[in-house]
Amino acid sequence: MSAGKGEHKAPAGKLRPLSIPEWKWEKFTMDFVVGLPHTLRKHDAIWVIVDRLTKSAHFLPIRLGDSLDKLAELYISEIVRLHGVPVSIVSDRDPRFTSRFWGSLQGRWVRNYISVLHFIRRQTGSQKE
């Protein structure tokens, strides 16, 4: 007979369902399919992004070693370009991952916004009389 350690976690609370989105692509879930063989372009995972309202999905090939900045760039070019900016992200990944991903997205949006403003200023500045 072995004396095993008991469970030291507090009992889980009641499950609460996620709110139903009011508009398509304002809230989505994401997950990763990993452990795949490498493609010719060295992709070895698939990033699955699913709209919570319509259940439509995008399947993006990625490399497991891709940085959060690279994922944010891919997200903006493939998802935001088509569907706009989300209100929330649901993921079963580590909450720190989701938080860092949001931070990376926001950093990219700020840099893109500043670039657009700079371009507009240059264009309007050259039209002065």
3-state class (DSSP) for residue 106: helix
Pairwise CA distance, residues 52 & 30, whole Å? 10
- Cβ atoms < 10 Å from Cβ of 30: 23
Pairing of strands 45-51, 27-33: antiparallel
- Distances in Å between the Cα of 91 and the Cα atoms of 2, 28, 42, 95 are 38, 9, 25, 8
pTM value surpassing 0.85 = no
Give the residue extent of every domain in the chain.
Answer: 27-125
Residue 36 confidence (pLDDT): 96
Strand partners, 58: 49
- Cβ atoms < 10 Å from Cβ of 107: 13
Residue 109 confidence (pLDDT): 59
Residue range 17-40, pLDDT digits in tens:
888 889 999 998 889 999 999 999
Pairwise CA distance, residues 18 & 25, whole Å? 15
Residue 21 confidence (pLDDT): 87
Q: Which fold has domain 27-125?
A: Nucleotidyltransferase; domain 5 (3.30.420)
CB 86 within 8 A of CB 48: no
Residue 85 confidence (pLDDT): 81
Q: What is the DSSP letter of 43?
A: -
Residue 18 confidence (pLDDT): 80
Residue range 44-79, pLDDT digits in tens:
999 999 999 999 999 999 999 998 888 888 988 899
